[in-house]
Structure 1
Amino acid sequence: MRIEQASPLIKRFTLQAADGGPLPAFGGGSHIIVQIPAANGLLHNAYSLLSSPFQLEQYQIAVRREEASRGGSAFMHAHVAEGDILQISPPNNLFPLHATPGRHILLAGGIGVTPFMAQMEELQSSGAAFELHYAFRSREQAAFVDELAARYGAHCHFYDAARGQLCNVAGLLQHMAEPDHVYVCGPQSLIEAVQQAGAGQGIPPAHLHWEQFSASTQSGEAFTVVLARSGREIRVAAEQTILQAIETDGAVAVDCLCREGVCGTCEVGIVEGEAEHRDQYFSEEEKQAQNSLLICVSRAKGRRIVLDL
């Protein structure tokens, strides 16, 4: 493993298989889940693969040091060293490119640029039309700007907020042609701006794609989860998700591909109690029905909830 400082807050980790062999194939937009030992138990953090899908001798991920880290990014920055062994999952892709004769318009905010780096490798290789619009708070805090400019040139457009350069999302979408697709990854405010502009301009929802690089705030009041099939009770701390508490307990195995409330793989039925839904997966009607929840982000409304596990 190699580690380099991509910006004051971002490190790039280059990973290779322990046996030196090729790694599993992946497509642009894929992520892996890294197992991270932390003070509050084993964490499972998802990171986009930013390396080329055509070079399977290595994977690259970028980790931003978060001020309110639950332990994952802090551990990766402070304790992981070159030569260490990390346990990772096979790649999963919840943010793939879509076939189109039109343009691929990529909108990135901050660390949200990472999935687009692998996607641009695919797009350039296939000769597809694409453009990257990358917004960041300041040039000093941004990562990969010089690298992207050198490799993709006129395909890239950069917006440095510290210099008053703002990305006009509505203006960009005004020039969309019928076959074009838009992809956005970054903070919720950027995703919402794209959604609102797309709706206002009548862009088909099937042509708007987004990936939120971090889930909504996960903290809240502590509560107890009861596993209905065994009667086992698990305490979920204020800064912990149900998924993390169950994984730490180890009594049952649960699957989750995204850990951000978007893919639905960790949906679990509610036997008793109500959920505070924090996902992007269920419709409002489904949330109000209180039949199930996504344990990677949602919480109990009260002090106790019984789940079909």
Structure 2
Amino acid sequence: MADKYQWFKVKVLGVEQQTPLIKRFTLAREDGQALPAFTGGSHVIVQMQEADGRQHSNAYSLLSDPADTRHYQIAVRLEDPSKGGSAFMHRQVEVGTVLTLSSPNNLFAIDPSAARHVLIAGGIGITPFLAQLPELRASGADYQLHYAFRSPEHGAFHPELMAGPHAERTRLYIDSQGQTLDIHALIAGLDDAAHLYVCGPRPLIDAVIDTARQLGVADSRVHWEQFAATTPANSGAFSVTLARSGRELWVEEGMSILQAIESAKAATVECLCREGVCGTCETQILQGEAEHLDQYLSDEEKAAQKTLMICVSRARGASLVLDL
């Protein structure tokens, strides 16, 4: 799976502090060539090299206009605690820094069959929509953006949105000012031609998905993206057998299959994102069923139980046998 990506060096042209926790980075190819074409909702994987040799790989949504491939822009929120990537980007990356970037991949594309597009963003979840908005406007589509954040100083890009061409189609919901997004009322008011798109914290995504189902909105009309995978509340420990070596590993609650393999040095597995979005750690299931937590496989592929992403997915039962 790893060869599906192309890799190239990019130089940081600009670093802007958008909020106390979010920075925007402008990137261009080091060799001066145009960057690969992309569509709104695409992400790239950024590889970062620490001075001590440690490497981080994080997936970030592209937020620049897809019509302009002279540069890309990404936004990075400083996480607490950071797994390494966000801290590196915030504390070590400056104008002139060279990074390694993957070609774009899109798991959150606009559905061309929809007559209307309702975009719902929470916090840093605004980023993929910033690239989708110019696409929607250029195509003459009917769209609206609902953007919720906790206070004005934490609403990344909202001044640009309200001063730009999408202002009339954008509504802000600022918690500190008593403005609350009523998800039930919003979804209840949609007609059958509208599609929903949501990106942001997991509670927001779950609320949109659950409300849409309660109101009879078909799953095919609800699209969501979240890079940070979450472990289900009822997820316990389980065993994994690596069929090629016969080794059996115990995967504790809160630990990924990939972490268990790496901790035991039981096999060599490539994984770029560690968040279930890049597809590089896709592994064949020989026995057992997986609780799929990735965003890479389609619903049909998940139901088939042929493969899983070992960086985030877990056993549905007590054990799995994998082709490793």
Amino acid at match of 1:134: Y
Cα–Cα, structure 1 residues 49 and 110, in superposed 2: closer, same or farther, change >3 Å? Answer: same
Alpha-carbon shift at residue 292 of structure 1 (Å):
5.1
- Asked if 1:36 corresponds to 2:36, the answer is no
2:311 to 288, 292, 296: 296
2:83 to 70, 75, 81: 70
Cα–Cα, structure 1 residues 223 and 209, in superposed 2: closer, same or farther, change >3 Å? Answer: closer
Amino acid at match of 2:71: Q
* Corresponding position of 2:198: 184
* Corresponding position of 2:141: 128
User: Given that residues 231 and 254 in structure 2 are in contact (C-alpha distance below 8 angstroms), is that contact kept between their aligned partners in structure 1?
Assistant: no
Cα–Cα, structure 1 residues 290 and 172, in superposed 2: closer, same or farther, change >3 Å? Answer: closer
Correspondences of 1:149-160 after superposition (within 5 Å)? 149-151=162-164, 152-160=166-174
User: Given that residues 100 and 180 in structure 1 are in contact (C-alpha distance below 8 angstroms), is that contact kept between their aligned partners in structure 2?
Assistant: no
SS at match of 2:154: coil
Structure 2: gaps of 5 or more residues: 1-11
- Asked if 1:195 corresponds to 2:209, the answer is yes
Distance 1:124 1:145 in 2: 18
* Corresponding position of 2:38: 26
Distance 2:130 2:41 in 1: 9
Alpha-carbon shift at residue 204 of structure 1 (Å):
1.6
- Asked if 1:115 corresponds to 2:128, the answer is yes
Cα–Cα, structure 1 residues 119 and 267, in superposed 2: closer, same or farther, change >3 Å? Answer: same
Distance 1:64 1:237 in 2: 29
Alpha-carbon shift at residue 149 of structure 1 (Å):
0.9
User: Given that residues 22 and 76 in structure 2 are in contact (C-alpha distance below 8 angstroms), is that contact kept between their aligned partners in structure 1?
Assistant: yes
Provide Cα deviations, 1:198-250, integer angstroms capped at 9, x if missing partner: 112211211111111421159x9999977543679999999875557879979
Distance 1:21 1:250 in 2: 41
* Corresponding position of 2:225: 211
Distance 1:100 1:274 in 2: 33
Amino acid at match of 2:275: E
Structure 1: gaps of 5 or more residues: none
Distance 1:234 1:84 in 2: 40
User: Given that residues 247 and 266 in structure 2 are in contact (C-alpha distance below 8 angstroms), is that contact kept between their aligned partners in structure 1?
Assistant: no
Cα–Cα, structure 1 residues 49 and 246, in superposed 2: closer, same or farther, change >3 Å? Answer: farther
Matched pairs, number? 304
Alpha-carbon shift at residue 296 of structure 1 (Å):
2.0
* Corresponding position of 1:8: 20
User: Given that residues 174 and 180 in structure 2 are in contact (C-alpha distance below 8 angstroms), is that contact kept between their aligned partners in structure 1?
Assistant: yes
- Asked if 1:104 corresponds to 2:117, the answer is yes
Identity of aligned residues (%): 52
- Asked if 1:261 corresponds to 2:276, the answer is yes
TM-score (norm 2): 0.79
SS at match of 1:21: coil
Alpha-carbon shift at residue 196 of structure 1 (Å):
1.7
User: Given that residues 7 and 141 in structure 1 are in contact (C-alpha distance below 8 angstroms), is that contact kept between their aligned partners in structure 2?
Assistant: yes
Alpha-carbon shift at residue 123 of structure 1 (Å):
0.6
RMSD: 3.7
2:106 to 93, 111, 114: 93
Amino acid at match of 1:297: V
TM-score (norm 1): 0.83
User: Given that residues 32 and 46 in structure 1 are in contact (C-alpha distance below 8 angstroms), is that contact kept between their aligned partners in structure 2?
Assistant: yes
Correspondences of 1:139-288 after superposition (within 5 Å)? 139-151=152-164, 152-216=166-230, 228-229=243-244, 241-243=256-258, 252=268, 254=270, 259-261=274-276, 266-270=281-285, 278-279=293-294
Cα–Cα, structure 1 residues 223 and 14, in superposed 2: closer, same or farther, change >3 Å? Answer: farther
Alpha-carbon shift at residue 121 of structure 1 (Å):
0.8
Alpha-carbon shift at residue 143 of structure 1 (Å):
0.5
User: Given that residues 186 and 213 in structure 1 are in contact (C-alpha distance below 8 angstroms), is that contact kept between their aligned partners in structure 2?
Assistant: no
Cα–Cα, structure 1 residues 96 and 272, in superposed 2: closer, same or farther, change >3 Å? Answer: closer
Alpha-carbon shift at residue 150 of structure 1 (Å):
1.1
Distance 1:8 1:105 in 2: 28
Cα–Cα, structure 1 residues 238 and 198, in superposed 2: closer, same or farther, change >3 Å? Answer: closer
Provide Cα deviations, 1:111-163, integer angstroms capped at 9, x if missing partner: 00000000001011111111100001111112000011111111110111111
